Amino acid sequence: MLSKRRKAVKKKSKEVQKMLDSKPYAVDNCKILQDMLFGTHKLCQEYNSENCSSKKARLIKELLNFPPDSPPYLEAPVYFDYGVHTTVGKNFFCNFNCVFLDCAKISIGDNVFLAPNVQLYTAAHPLDHKERRETEFARPITIGDDVWIGGGSIVLPGVEIGSRVVVAAGSVVTKNVPSDCVVAGVPARVLPTLSPPSAVSRVSH
């Protein structure tokens, strides 16, 4: 059985489609989007305050998409805008206080680890102040397999991160990242390339 929140995703709405197509859209003009946001934020509150593991497992199924044989591990608190636009692969680990602004789709591969306070932003706003009053837009984020994102890092809208990447703590990722490398800094820059199956022995959380 689909929950009311997930049923809302199936409904036809111009604003929902605009949002997912990375076109300007207006949340204030769309009750479906407002209901989805409210429902997801309520689910996050429930998950973050729940101590029973079986109840947390049920709430995770409602929050986001993942392989049925490999549920993600989410340390509370965790925050989603919609949740249903986020898909994670096998063996996904998310540490404390991570944020997923998934107005557009967030697609994450297998064996991905997020350290505390990682923030993934698909949401963006027009530079023009008049347009910014009326609409916003979103760009999808894609993260490959075997990626480790260090604590306090931010990934901005539209970024694609390849596989076997390490993002050093405190980085702001503004551009696409190729596979097999380390990125660090504000904005993040590529450091030494990793040769599979090599790994960084020590990168600070």
Catalytic residue among 41, 85, 125, 205: 125
14-193: CATH architecture: 3 Solenoid (2.160)
Question: What is the model's pLDDT at position 202?
Answer: 54
For the chain, the structural domain boundaries read 14-193
Question: What is the model's pLDDT at position 6?
Answer: 59
Question: Could you tell me where the beta strands, DSSP code E, fall in 45-117?
Answer: 73-74, 78-80, 86-87, 93-94, 98-101, 106-108, 113-114
Tens digit of pLDDT per residue, the chain (205 long)? 456 555 655 555 788 899 999 999 998 888 999 999 999 999 999 999 999 999 999 999 999 999 999 999 999 999 999 999 999 999 999 999 999 999 999 999 999 999 999 999 999 999 999 999 999 999 999 999 999 999 999 999 999 999 999 999 999 999 999 999 999 999 999 996 666 555 455 554 5
Cβ neighbours for 178, distance < 8 A, ≥ 6 positions apart: 162, 165, 190
Question: What is the model's pLDDT at position 109?
Answer: 98
Is 45 in a helix, a strand, or coil? Answer: helix
Phi, psi at residue 120, to the nearest 5°? -110, 115
Question: What is the model's pLDDT at position 205?
Answer: 52
Residue 125 annotated as catalytic: yes
